[in-house]
Amino acid sequence: MTARAAPAPADRIDTGKQRQARIVGFLLIGLAIFTAFVFGLDAAGDATFRLSRPRDPFALPDLVVPAAPFLHIAAALLAFLGARQFLRGGIRWTALSLGIGLAILVAAFLVWATAGKAFSLTGMLQATVVRAVPIALGALAGVLCERVAVVNIAIEGMLLAGAFTGALAGSVIGGWGGLVSAVAIGGLFGFILAALVVTYRMDQIIAGVVINLFVLGLTSYVTSQVLSERTELNNAPVFR
pLDDT tens for each residue of 114-165: 888 888 888 888 888 989 988 998 899 889 888 888 888 999 999 999 999 9
The model's pLDDT over 51-100, given as tens digits with 9 standing for 90+, comes to 887 777 777 888 888 988 999 999 999 999 999 998 877 788 889 999 99
The more confidently predicted of residues 220 and 44 is 220
pTM, two decimal places? 0.63
Query: What is residue 4's predicted lDDT score, i.e. its pLDDT?
Result: 57
Closest CA to 83 of 144, 19, 6, 22: 22
Q: Is the predicted pLDDT of residue 2 greater than 70, yes or no?
A: no
**Amino acid identity for residue 33 in this structure:** I
Residue 97 DSSP SS3: helix
What is the DSSP-derived secondary structure letter of residue 226?
A: I
For the chain, what percent of residues have pLDDT higher than 70?
A: 94
Segment (H or E) for 47: strand 46-50
How far the first Cα of the chain sits from its last, in Å, is 81
- Looking at the DSSP bridge assignments, the partners of residue 47 are 65
CB 125 within 8 A of CB 98: no
